[in-house]
């Protein structure tokens, strides 16, 4: 190791303390808590603003306190659409003051229809649909909730990314978590649809920094050969959080209570200021090697790692020398590199084209992922059970994904999973009505399985493609662009009411091209995280530094999985 590199080589120090020891495992366990919460925040609108079966309330027939969804008088009071009674229309009621019983067939004119203004709901489940009667002509307001939720993420993610790069990953996660808890609890007390939709936007906006900050914080804690294991842990807990949402929705069946249950625990994130350290990689990028050295020294003690003389020398110099001389000169950073501004990306043709490719890929993945998740509750069977299984399928997908990432590389996993997801959606369209319901569900879940692999890999891949000072900002920009796809996803439910097969055709039309185009980006498997613009540009070139023992990654991951 050269004299310059002895100054402060963080990748070398992380390797010295152990790429995934007790220190990293303890921090991952803590980071997975907000990951579970964020999973519930991102999809709660599926139940809070979900569809319910309802019919018109018939004056003169629906009387008293106990109103039944099924009643014999429906045959002469409500028209039928095929085999189902209309939800929004009823026959004209012609009252007769001379009779006491106004619920008689001859008092309803079947030749004249009237729109309904009051409704009877099939279940006792309480959500905003029956809270504010948002059926029929106002049903689009339900889809708008999901769109506003994703719009909040889309608008605020760049801000959260900048905040994270400027003030630290831990700080961004804590501040975002606390604001989310407060906004979510306030939303549960909404007195009107307008108030609810405003609070939905605010809640989604302030929560946008929780997952991305936690993800980057966790990723920067470990060495290159343990990133896949770290990603696996986070995505398993994310899937469990989604499934937990389905379980809580099934038990509570009350949207106000559900929101309070899932948002109140986020207040505990405040104590993370004393429980987890800031990202050492971020501290180094901000010329604070002394703080980074303290974290490394603490990690070495917890992991019971024996540091080499060279590593100890690095830490000693970081503790006792001025920060301006403690950073490794080997980086040879230009002024553009250290500025950490987006203008540096715009000046680099390589990184600009790479960013544009990532943007389209993120859009496609988010659009298909959220569309398939939302459409799972309208398939045959119990919507809660369908939703839970649709979420749990992400766990085996995450396991296979993390193994495949280290065997095939990040780029090929994104390519294959996107392509197979698109093919699955297309195959679902051509399945005949005679095919077993189980085959339909299997094909649907195979599409979800593959798109889950895509969404997991793209987070890792994007984080590895860009330099440290801009990593969180660019990841947030990509996630923002992806959110435009998620914003459109809720309206695929309405699209399917006009042309049933159109949503699936649309999913395949964006997934397959994105899978092909991502092959134009370089592979990042076993590369150290780039610190500078120059490092990022050199990814994929032969002279770029490859992490030592990177070819052992799959074996290490398998051994660690057996210990979980």
Q: Measured on CA atoms in the order 220, 226, 230, 231, is the torsion positive or negative?
A: positive
Tokens of 421: 């997801």
Give the model's pLDDT for residue 454. 92
Average pLDDT of the segment spanning 359-368: 93
Backbone dihedral angles phi then psi of residue 516, each to the nearest 5 degrees:
-75, -45
Tokens 């900002």 identify what position? 473
What is d(CA 41, CA 204) in angstroms, rounded to the nearest whole number?
8
Domains, the chain: 9-42+136-319 (1.20.1250.20), 54-122 (no CATH), 344-563 (1.20.1250.20)
DSSP type of residue 98: T
- The answer to whether 297 and 17 are in contact (CB under 8 A) is no
Backbone dihedral angles phi then psi of residue 118, each to the nearest 5 degrees:
-130, 150
Q: Which long-range contacts (CB under 8 A, 24 or more apart) does 314-318 make?
A: 314/6, 314/7, 314/8, 314/9, 314/12, 314/13, 315/13, 317/6, 317/7, 317/8, 318/8, 318/289, 318/290, 318/292, 318/293
The structure's pTM equals 0.77
Tens digits of residue pLDDT in 188-203: 999 999 999 999 999 9
- The answer to whether 315 and 296 are in contact (CB under 8 A) is yes
Asked whether residue 14 carries a pLDDT value surpassing 70, the answer given is yes
Residues 6+ apart with CB under 8 A from 461: 410, 411, 414, 521, 524
More confident residue, 491 or 552: 491
Asked whether residue 11 carries a pLDDT value surpassing 90, the answer given is no
Tens digits of residue pLDDT in 309-350: 888 888 888 777 544 444 444 444 444 444 456 777 778 888
Tokens 């695929």 identify what position? 492
More confident residue, 292 or 239: 239
Give the model's pLDDT for residue 379. 66
Give the model's pLDDT for residue 365. 94
Residue 151 confidence class, pLDDT cut points 50, 70, 90: confident
Tokens of 103: 């619920």
* 418: exposed, middle or buried (Cβ count in 10 Å: 0-12, 13-18, 19+): buried
Asked whether residue 542 carries a pLDDT value surpassing 70, the answer given is no
């Amino acid at each position: 190791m050269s004299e310059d590199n002895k100054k402060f080589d963080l990748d070398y120090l992380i390797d010295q303390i152990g790429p995934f020891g007790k220190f990293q495992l303890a921090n991952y366990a803590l980071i997975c808590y907000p990951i579970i919460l964020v999973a519930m925040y991102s999809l709660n609108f599926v139940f809070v603003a979900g569809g319910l079966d309802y019919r018109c309330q018939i004056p003169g027939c629906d009387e008293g306190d106990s109103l039944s969804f099924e009643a014999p008088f429906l045959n002469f009071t409500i028209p039928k659409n095929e085999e189902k009674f209309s939800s929004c229309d009823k026959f004209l009621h012609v009252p007769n003051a001379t009779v006491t019983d106004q619920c008689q067939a001859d008092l309803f004119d079947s030749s004249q229809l009237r729109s309904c203004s009051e409704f009877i709901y099939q279940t006792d489940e309480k959500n905003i649909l029956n809270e504010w009667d948002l059926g029929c002509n106002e049903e689009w307001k339900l889809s708008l909730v999901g769109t506003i939720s994703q719009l909040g993420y889309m608008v605020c993610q760049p801000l959260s990314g900048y905040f994270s790069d400027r003030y630290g990953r831990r700080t961004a996660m804590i501040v975002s978590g606390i604001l989310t808890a407060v906004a979510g609890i306030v939303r549960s007390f909404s007195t009107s649809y307008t108030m609810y939709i405003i609070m939905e936007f605010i809640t989604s906006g302030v929560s946008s920094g929780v997952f991305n900050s936690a993800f980057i914080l966790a990723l920067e804690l470990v060495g290159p050969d343990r990133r896949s294991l770290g990603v696996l842990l986070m995505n398993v807990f994310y899937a469990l959080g989604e499934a937990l949402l389905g379980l809580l929705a099934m038990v509570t069946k009350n949207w106000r209570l559900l929101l309070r249950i899932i948002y109140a625990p986020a207040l505990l994130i405040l104590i993370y200021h004393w429980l987890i350290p800031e990202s050492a990689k971020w501290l180094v990028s901000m010329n604070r090697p002394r703080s980074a050295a303290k974290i490394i020294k603490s990690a070495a003690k917890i992991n019971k790692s024996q540091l080499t003389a060279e590593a100890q020398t690095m830490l000693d110099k970081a503790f006792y020398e001025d920060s301006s001389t403690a950073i490794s000169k080997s980086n040879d950073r230009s002024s553009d590199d250290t500025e950490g501004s987006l203008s540096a990306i715009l000046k680099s043709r390589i990184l600009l084209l790479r960013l544009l490719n990532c943007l389209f890929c993120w859009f496609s993945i988010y659009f298909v992922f959220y569309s398939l998740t939302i459409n799972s509750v309208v398939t045959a069977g119990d919507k809660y059970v369908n939703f839970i299984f649709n979420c749990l399928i992400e766990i085996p997908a995450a396991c296979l994904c993390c193994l495949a990432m280290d065997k095939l590389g990040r780029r090929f996993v994104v390519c294959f999973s996107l392509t197979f997801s698109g093919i699955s959606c297309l195959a679902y369209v051509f399945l005949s009505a005679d095919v077993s319901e189980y085959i339909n569900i299997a094909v649907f879940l195979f599409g979800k399985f593959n798109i889950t692999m895509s969404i997991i890999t793209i987070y890792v891949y994007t984080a590895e493609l860009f330099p440290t000072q801009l990593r969180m900002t660019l990841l947030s920009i990509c996630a923002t662009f992806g959110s435009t796809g998620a914003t459109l996803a809720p309206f695929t439910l309405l699209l399917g009411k006009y042309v049933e097969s159109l949503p699936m055709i649309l999913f395949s039309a964006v997934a397959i091209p994105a899978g092909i185009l991502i092959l134009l980006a370089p592979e990042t498997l076993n590369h150290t995280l780039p610190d500078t613009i120059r490092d990022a540009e050199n990814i994929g070139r032969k002279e770029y530094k490859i992490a030592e023992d990177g070819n052992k990654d799959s074996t290490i991951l398998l051994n660690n999985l057996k210990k979980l």
